[in-house]
Amino acid sequence: MIKLCVFDFDSTIMDGETIDILAAANNASEEVANITKRSMNGELDFFESLTKRVKFLKGLPLLKVNEICKNLPIMPGAGELIEALKQKGIKVVVFSGGFHNATDVMQKKLNFDANFANILQHHKDGILTGEVGGEMMFSSSKGDMIDRLCGLLNLGKDEIMCVGDGANDISMFRKCDLSIAFCAKDILKKEATHCVDVKDLREILKFIR
């Protein structure tokens, strides 16, 4: 019986990559999108790719970041899926290698229970420094956080479902018995118990018992 569902954020709950959208607003779209693609395919270490990409956000006003994050596109079926899971008494948590600016806003919109992400550092005048810190900085971070939640909630692997799309989701997939690769990269599909290749999160309800 599933008691906890953990979702990746970018290209899973949110339809796109937050950092790519922010980079486009700072005239660094092509450079960052290329690094993102390589990272999600497992060609680059996640920490290295994250810190490289965030440097391209240097000089962006925090107010602009927050405005963009208020209007990020939601993946089709996300609201219905989360509502259905919560009706079953399942806790819904989001892990993101992205930023709280986006995940905190989306939590209010979609009503999931908690989220863990990173923080874009900024100067006192509200301008991004190009540095980042937080809870999801490394390729192992999502798996490590699953361990913490399991200890806190007293859960076993058979009570957890994870959903994601890229290489940095591998560590959490290895911590649960039900792992769903959603419109995912090949490197993650190899680690998944199930794959969904239709861009509709409601398809995941088929795997919940």
Active site (catalytic) residues: 8, 10
Bridge partners, residue 122, by sequence: 128
Backbone φ and ψ for 9, nearest 5 degrees, come out as: -100, -65
